[in-house]
Amino acid sequence: MAGYLSRRRRAEEGAYWPGFVDAMAQLLLVVTFLLSVFIVAQFLAAREISGRDSVLVQLKAQIAELTELLAMEKSAKAEVEANLLAMTDTLNAEKAKAAEMLAGLSAAGGAVSVSGLQTEIDKEKAISADALAKVELLNQQIAAMRRQLAELNGLLADSEARNKQSEAQITDLGKRLNAALAQKVQELQKYRSEFFGRLRQILSQRSDILVVGDRFVFQSEVLFPKAGADLNPAGTEEMTKLATAIKQLEVEIPPDINWVLRVDGHTDADPIQSAQFKSNWELSTARAIAVVKFLIAQGVQPRHLVAAGFGEFQPLDPGTSEDAKSQNRRIELKLTER
C-alpha cells in the first residue's frame, strides 16, 4: 500500500506542471510566430524600396522594432518566471492536500484503480513531451529572429559606409568642379581684358564711345537716327570695326569656354513718338537686334551674340536734363559667360 501511495503522489505532483508549461509554451509560440511573420514581412518590404536613403530609414525602423520586440520578450519571460513561482507554490499546496487525501483513503481502506491511474500518467507524459517540443521550437524561432537582427545591423552598417563614401566623392567632385569653373572664369577674364584692350585701340579716336566698368557704351546718336533702329553710316563703320575684333576673339578663345557678347539697348525717359515703336521697350530692343543682325552679317557666330532691350529703366544719369537724356540713350556691349 505504501508503494502505491508513493506512485500516486508522484503522478499527482507531475499533473500540474505539464499543463502549465503547455499553456505558457503555446502562448509564447503564438506571440513568436506573429513576431516572425511581422519581421519577415517588414524585411521583404524593405528590400523592395529603392533608393539609399529609403533603405536606411527602413532598416533603422526595423532595428528599432526588433529591439522593442526583444524587450517585450524579456518582459514576457520575467512574467512567466513569476507565474512559475506562483504555480510552484500552488503545486506544493496541492501536494499537501493530496497527501492528506491519500492518508484518509488509506485509513478508510478505500481502493483505487491502478490501471486508470497509469493511463492518466501516460497522458500527462505525452502532454509534457509535446510541451517540451513546442518550447524547443520557440527557442529556435527566437534564435532565427536574433540572426535576422544581426543581418539587418550588418546591412545598415554597409549602407552607412557606402553613404559616407558617396558623400566624400560628391565633395571631391564639387571641389574639382569649382576649381574648373574658377579656371574658366579666369580664362574668360583674360580674353575679356584682351578684347577690351583691342577695342580701346580701335575706338580710341571716338570721344562719344565710353568705357563704363566692364562695358563699352555707344551713344545712340553715333549709331542710329532719332527714334529709329536702322544703323546710320557712322554706326555701320563702328560696328564693322567691332565685328573684326569679335571674329579675331572667336578664333583665340578655346571652344570649351562658353562666352557671349551681350548687346543692350537703352533709351531715355521721354515717351516714344513713333508709329513704328509703341514704347521705349520696343525701340531699345529693336536697336539691340539691329546691332546683332549687322554683326552676324559681318561673319560673327550667332551663338556668341545676345540682344536685350531695357527701355528707360536702367539710366546712367537719373537727371532730366538734355545731357542726362543723351547719356541714357545708348548701346552697351559686354563680354560675359553664357
Residue 150: predicted pLDDT = 83
Residue 110: predicted pLDDT = 47
149 with 26, same domain: the answer is yes
Q: Is residue 122 part of a domain?
A: yes
Residue 292: predicted pLDDT = 97
CATH code of the domain containing 320:
3.30.1330.60
Residue 75 has pLDDT above 60, yes or no: yes
Residue 320: predicted pLDDT = 93
Of 121-135, 182-196, 197-211, 216-230, give the range with the top mean pLDDT.
216-230
Residue 168: predicted pLDDT = 74
Q: Which tens digit of pLDDT belongs to each residue from 21-59? A: 666 666 677 667 667 767 766 666 556 655 566 767 777
Provide the number of structural domains found in the chain.
2
Mean pLDDT for 287-315 is 96
Q: Is residue 278 part of a domain?
A: yes
66 with 153, same domain: the answer is yes
Q: Is residue 187 part of a domain?
A: no
Which cell is 39 given?
A: 519581421
Q: Which tens digit of pLDDT belongs to each residue from 258-278? A: 889 999 999 999 999 788 999
Mean pLDDT for 97-114 is 60
Picking from 162, 15, 198, the residue whose alpha carbon sits closest to that of residue 97 is: 15
14 with 150, same domain: the answer is yes
Q: Is residue 295 part of a domain?
A: yes
Q: Domain range for residue 105? A: 2-173
212 with 167, same domain: the answer is no
62 with 144, same domain: the answer is yes
Residue 156: predicted pLDDT = 82
Please report, as a single letter, which amino acid is at residue 204: S
161 with 262, same domain: the answer is no
What order of strands is seen across the sheet that includes strand 259-266? 209-212, 215-219, 330-337, 259-266, 305-309
300 with 215, same domain: the answer is yes
Q: What is the value of pTM for the model shown?
A: 0.47
Q: Is residue 161 part of a domain?
A: yes
Mean pLDDT for 83-107 is 69
152 with 21, same domain: the answer is yes
Q: Give how far Cα 237 sits from Cα of 43, 69, 94, 221, Å.
A: 77, 87, 123, 14
Choose one of 121, 150, 173: the last residue of a domain.
173
Round the average pLDDT of the chain to a whole number and report it: 77
126 with 236, same domain: the answer is no
Over the range 112-151, which residues count as b (16 or more CB within 10 Å of their CB) and which as e? eeeeeeeeebeebeebbeebeebbeebeebbeebeebbee
Q: Is residue 192 part of a domain?
A: no
Picking from 89, 101, 90, 104, the residue whose alpha carbon sits closest to that of residue 9 is: 101
Of 8-17, 61-70, 138-147, give the range with the top mean pLDDT.
138-147
Q: Are 15 and 71 in contact (CB under 8 A)?
A: no
Instruction: Say how far apart CA 191 and CA 147 lie, in whole Å.
Output: 66
Q: Is residue 160 part of a domain?
A: yes
pLDDT band at 17 (very low <50, low <70, confident <90, very high): low
Residue 275: predicted pLDDT = 87
Instruction: Say how far apart CA 132 and CA 136 lie, in whole Å.
Output: 6
